[in-house]
Amino acid sequence: MPSDERVQQALDALARPIAEFRSTVEGALAQAEAHLATLDADPASRALRVRRELGPFAESRVDAAAFATLLATPRGTPATERERFAAAVDTLRDVLERGVSLFVAQVPPGGSLARAVEDALGRIGRAFGAVLAIELMRGGAFRPAEHDMLLHHLAFRSWTRTERRFAPPLVVMVQGADLHVGGLADFTDGRERIVLVVEGECPPAALVRLITPGTFVLQTADATGLDRLAQHDGCGIAAMVPANAARFIHDPVAGREPWQRLAIWQAAMAPRHAIGGVSSWQMGEDIQQLTALATAPVAALSASGVGPGGGHGTNGAAMADAPVNAASVDLLANWLLRQSDLGGVA
């Protein structure tokens, strides 16, 4: 297990959805093991097992031996089919034996964040693939050339709507220079929740690019807000970023309009140098987009009785430390434009 304590903080916050996924796999494994036992047992053992399961009420009413034949492997069934069934059971066991490490991934320096997430979810997806393979085999619809791959890898794009609703969370460690989040939009579906543990300097408002009406998005310096991500009944992406990065939360249930859903906890400035190929201009665009999304319409500000002065000072340090609500976001935008050189060359 990685040594970064933030990884453990993220796992602790996501303990409930992780436990729910594991419970689902455990239930599927128990059923699969029971069926596998019927394939391995001789006729007398199968009859005895069925008699015990049916109980005393069926003792004089049901022929246990005859009933057991319904659960047995049909005559002439190839041994390879039994081996495939056992392999599917082994896959479910392996998913459980990996423990919480199954839900942790690491992006190698210079590597692709989207690829690391895709690979990790593909490994998790083996559980869904194994369950599907088991159902196909039990129904006599398993075709090796088409379905053998289910036991090795099941990419997120192949998950069904139901499987995406049961998707477990994922914690990903990534260097700040590799925080390229564009490809993560492909995984914002169902109940997939991803927490990025960022090491080192990073683009200050990178996750703003992932904000959509139904996606929970969080940038935090610690575990603040991760409990809300875990409780969110939908997809979400969070990043635990360095202390000087922007901190904000976009909660889809907080309102219909972007400025109602988005709260900026800490402002940030674009550095004058590129980070991981992202120019100062691009980072400035992200910051301005964050500000624009959090800006309430003039009508809303007027209704709240907040005028241009807003009762907020223009001291930069104070504004960086205080939560930024819709009423003060115009002042924040003006201050950022005065303090940063958004036209500089990376």
The reported pLDDT for the residue numbered 222 is 92
Question: Across the 346 residues of the chain, what is the mean pLDDT of every consecutive 10-residue run?
Answer: 83 95 94 80 58 62 60 53 87 94 96 97 93 88 85 89 93 98 95 97 97 97 95 96 97 95 95 95 96 82 50 36 47 55 48
Quickly tell me which residue has 């809303």 as its tokens: 300
- Tokens matching residue 238: 């969070």
Torsion over CA: 248, 254, 257, 260 (sign): negative
N- to C-terminal Cα separation, the chain: 37
- Tokens matching residue 127: 């559980």
- Rounded to 5 degrees, what angle do the CA atoms 169, 175, 178 make? 90
Closest CA to 263 of 188, 169, 337, 332: 332
d(CA 200, CA 205) in angstroms, rounded, equals 14
DSSP string, 151-174: GT---GGG--HHHHHTPPPEEEEE
The greatest distance separating any two alpha carbons of the chain, rounded to the nearest whole angstrom, comes to: 89
Integer angstrom CA distances of residue 70 from 38, 65, 67, 289, 328: 10, 9, 6, 63, 71
- Polymer length in residues for the chain: 346
- Say if residues 298 and 267 touch (Cβ distance below 8 Å): no
DSSP assignment letter at 73: P
The reported pLDDT for the residue numbered 310 is 40
d(CA 341, CA 46) in angstroms, rounded, equals 78
Query: Phi first, then psi: what are they for 253, rounded to 5°?
Result: -90, 0
d(CA 42, CA 61) in angstroms, rounded, equals 23
pTM: 0.77
Q: Where are the domains of the chain?
A: 201-346
Q: Where are the alpha helices (DSSP H) in the chain?
A: 5-13, 15-40, 43-54, 64-69, 79-97, 113-124, 126-138, 144-147, 161-165, 226-231, 258-261, 280-294, 298-303, 316-321, 329-339
Quickly tell me which residue has 């990419």 as its tokens: 155
Query: Phi first, then psi: what are they for 277, rounded to 5°?
Result: 85, -5
The reported pLDDT for the residue numbered 5 is 93
286-313 pLDDT, tens per residue? 999 999 999 988 655 555 555 444 433 3
